[in-house]
Structure 1
Amino acid sequence: MEHKGLRLSDRAFFLMSAFAYGVVAFGLAACAAWFLQNIWLIGDTKLFYRMAEVILGGGVPYVDFRDPKPPLIFFMLTLPAALGQQLYGGLLLVGLCNFLSAIVVMRIGWKLYGRLPGLVAGLLLLPNLALAEGFFILTEPFALLFILLSVYALLFMKNELLSGIFAGIAIGFKQYALLLVPLLLFYMLRQKELRRAPELLAGVVMPLLIIYGAIFLAYGPDAGASSLYWSFGVADEYLSSSYLGDIPAYKAEDPLVGLANLGLSAGLFIVLLAAAAAGVLLDRPLSPYDELFVLSATAFLATLAVRQYLHYWALALPFVILLCVRLYRKREDRPE
């Protein structure tokens, strides 16, 4: 017998879900702060903070120090660096991004598959992001949030311009977010809305013009040109070299080492991958948004061919997880 009176309202369900995500996201960030006291002194995080210190010290980014990343991560980290809270401030920002990403994934899953699958999608995302080094201070948590917002804006708000703006901001954090643009265009094609592609593309360009234009105006043409080169022009050297000037590119020295790294990292997510693959193969037909998730997961997983590092899984995980929870969709639970 069904007790409809005991069913939580959508608002109460959302608030309880957000509370649960907050406990998990900030709890994991607190654990990272407790057990990983030196994470801001190693790897990419160390380089990001070095650029932030150059900016705070009045230096010229991409001239006095160079790093092959777009500018937003460096300027974002000037805030915790200025406060002298490189560890706790950086982890707070990462935890906030992961928390918000879980909420966006929940809303996507809820609207498409039902509110319980949406809740599960967010809960699956947070610990799996942690496995994918999601609580190191890297570019992925920031880029991922805006990738998900871009997808949400296109699928549910039907706002191509806003979707493009979010995608452009994501690219300002990580170059691989560029892959999102053709994926969104494909979705628009499947929905017979490609005539509105100029709005999407204009949205993508707008934040990038502001970001790189601001560097040009604030630091001069040399810094502006250098920022573009180190964000995008260095791609060929990044793919083929182990060092970019004085900066390690962390390229596997041997293909077998790369395959071993890939196999070990895949083992962490094998259940998700198997469930997503089973859903795609056994539960047909696929809707246009299911196709978008399949292609997005595939495209972002393909970046592992470039570097076989755990955090490269992060951008694909939400789409893999959405394909997992799709198996349990219930039409009656979709919100209005």
Structure 2
Amino acid sequence: MKAEARVSQEQPDRLINISDRQYFACCILLFALIIGTIVVASSLFMTSAWTTYDTARFYAMADVIVKGATPYLDFQDPKPPLIFFTLALPTLLGQKYLGGLILVGLCNLASAILVTKMACELYGRFSGFIAGLLFTVNIAFAQGYFILTEPFTVTFILLATYLAGFTEKKHYLWAGISAGIAIGFKQYALLSVPLLAFLMWRNGDLRKVPSLLAGVLLPLIVIFAAIFLHYGVEAGVASLNWSFGVAATYLTEENMGTVTSYRTTDPLMLCANLAMAASVFTSLLVFALAGVVKDRRLDALEQYFLLSAVGFALTLAIRQYLHYWVLALPFFAFLCARQFRNGR
């Protein structure tokens, strides 16, 4: 019976008799095709009002940068600087939306590669394919192919995860740098810092947390120091305030000056919004969490995946935007793929 179970577990890999490297390459080519198709489809709607509210604000700030005006003074938006300066590049090239979509597509492909590689190393190549496919397809339902901060952010969170959990010597400094860059795109990436510290603790490396924190601070210091040096003290202070200082206002008020924060004040409406936001991914969530309930023997990385999935998903309690799911989806994909592990 044990031999039959083992053969059954390994059967998915035997269906395609190619090397692991060829299998991985085929997966990436498939994901690139899917991502390219969705990017092309998204480009047909990239000027629609329902797809561009946040994007329009990002490009308004990018225009400020390109025209030589002062970001955070001549225009305000409660996001860290990296998204604005990143989108300044396609703005300079005269391809605002198409260029932005291409950047989003490249980030999603990089994320799919990281998800696939990590799941392959943990659970075998079929599980790697499942994890990568779940991520690539499901983020489409989470507005992951819109020009928003999340596709950029999740790529660097996944890179930090790989550097902290999958490299032989555990490159915690570089993991911190990657997490710091993620924070430079979106504030919610701050959650990755205690999550990575938890993983370090489970790996017996808690004493190396200062390396992680130093890595987190390094890119943030460089980013904001550059604004202070180039645009002046007033702009530098404003950039810090709009990136992090407005957090309390964002959580408690409906508006931040000219910026609407869309805070839900009615508890019933909040519950309805949460239910609708979760309903899109009901099957994925149930499958992932059912696997954890069925087999509770989680190792350090799996505990990290579970905490990351739940932690990032809880940000929807603050705002019920579909794109808030993007940061949680790869970790739910890992938990789903875990159920197809074959011991390889």
TM-score normalized by the length of structure 2: 0.93
Q: Distance in 2 between matches of 1:10 and 1:4?
A: 11
* Aligned twin of 1:69: 79
Q: How far 1:250 moved relative to its partner?
A: 1.8
Q: How far 1:151 moved relative to its partner?
A: 0.2
* Aligned twin of 1:213: 225
CA, structure 1 residues 94+6, in 2 after alignment: closer, same or farther (shift >3 Å)? Answer: closer
Are the aligned partners of 1:40 and 1:46 in contact in 2 as well (CA < 8 Å)?
A: no
List structure 1 segments (4+ residues) > 4 angstroms apart after TM superposition.
1-6
* Aligned twin of 2:3: none
Residue 42 of structure 2 is aligned to residue 32 of structure 1: yes
> How many corresponding residue pairs?
332
* Aligned twin of 1:113: 123
Q: Distance in 1 between matches of 2:259 and 2:267?
A: 21
Q: Distance in 2 between matches of 1:268 and 1:319?
A: 16
Are the aligned partners of 2:45 and 2:51 in contact in 1 as well (CA < 8 Å)?
A: no
Q: 1:194 pairs with 206, 231, 234, which one?
A: 206
Q: Alpha-carbon deviations, 1:93-150, whole Å to 9, x = none?
A: 1111111101100011111111111111111111210100111110000000000000
Are the aligned partners of 1:40 and 1:86 in contact in 2 as well (CA < 8 Å)?
A: no
Worse-matched range after superposition: 79-88 or 106-115: 79-88
Q: Distance in 2 between matches of 1:179 and 1:287?
A: 21
Q: How far 1:69 moved relative to its partner?
A: 0.3
Residue 130 of structure 2 is aligned to residue 150 of structure 1: no
Unaligned runs of 5+ in 2: 1-6
* Aligned twin of 2:283: 271
Q: 1:251 pairs with 254, 263, 267, which one?
A: 263
SS state of the match for residue 79, structure 1? helix
Q: How far 1:204 moved relative to its partner?
A: 0.5
Q: What is the one-letter code of the residue matched to 1:246?
A: T
Are the aligned partners of 2:157 and 2:182 in contact in 1 as well (CA < 8 Å)?
A: yes
* Aligned twin of 2:306: 294
Are the aligned partners of 1:216 and 1:224 in contact in 2 as well (CA < 8 Å)?
A: yes
Q: Distance in 2 between matches of 1:68 and 1:5?
A: 50
* Aligned twin of 1:15: 25
CA, structure 1 residues 6+223, in 2 after alignment: closer, same or farther (shift >3 Å)? Answer: closer
Q: Distance in 2 between matches of 1:195 and 1:302?
A: 29
Are the aligned partners of 1:262 and 1:309 in contact in 2 as well (CA < 8 Å)?
A: no
Q: 1:130 pairs with 119, 123, 140, which one?
A: 140
Q: How far 1:229 moved relative to its partner?
A: 0.7
Q: 1:262 pairs with 241, 257, 274, which one?
A: 274
Q: How far 1:190 moved relative to its partner?
A: 1.0
Q: How high is the sequence identity, in percent, across the aligned residues? A: 51
Are the aligned partners of 1:55 and 1:78 in contact in 2 as well (CA < 8 Å)?
A: yes
Q: Distance in 1 between matches of 2:139 and 2:59?
A: 22
Q: Distance in 1 between matches of 2:342 and 2:315?
A: 33
Q: Distance in 2 between matches of 1:23 and 1:14?
A: 14
CA, structure 1 residues 145+159, in 2 after alignment: closer, same or farther (shift >3 Å)? Answer: same
Q: 2:197 pairs with 179, 185, 189, which one?
A: 185
Residue 117 of structure 2 is aligned to residue 104 of structure 1: no
Are the aligned partners of 1:48 and 1:74 in contact in 2 as well (CA < 8 Å)?
A: yes
Q: 2:174 pairs with 162, 168, 178, which one?
A: 162
Are the aligned partners of 1:39 and 1:45 in contact in 2 as well (CA < 8 Å)?
A: no
Q: Distance in 2 between matches of 1:93 and 1:241?
A: 33
Q: Distance in 1 between matches of 2:300 and 2:153?
A: 24
Are the aligned partners of 1:276 and 1:320 in contact in 2 as well (CA < 8 Å)?
A: yes
* Aligned twin of 2:332: 320
Are the aligned partners of 1:40 and 1:87 in contact in 2 as well (CA < 8 Å)?
A: no
TM-score normalized by the length of structure 1: 0.95
CA, structure 1 residues 67+200, in 2 after alignment: closer, same or farther (shift >3 Å)? Answer: same
* Aligned twin of 2:4: none
Q: Distance in 2 between matches of 1:71 and 1:168?
A: 12
Are the aligned partners of 1:40 and 1:137 in contact in 2 as well (CA < 8 Å)?
A: no
CA, structure 1 residues 17+220, in 2 after alignment: closer, same or farther (shift >3 Å)? Answer: same
Q: How far 1:5 moved relative to its partner?
A: 11
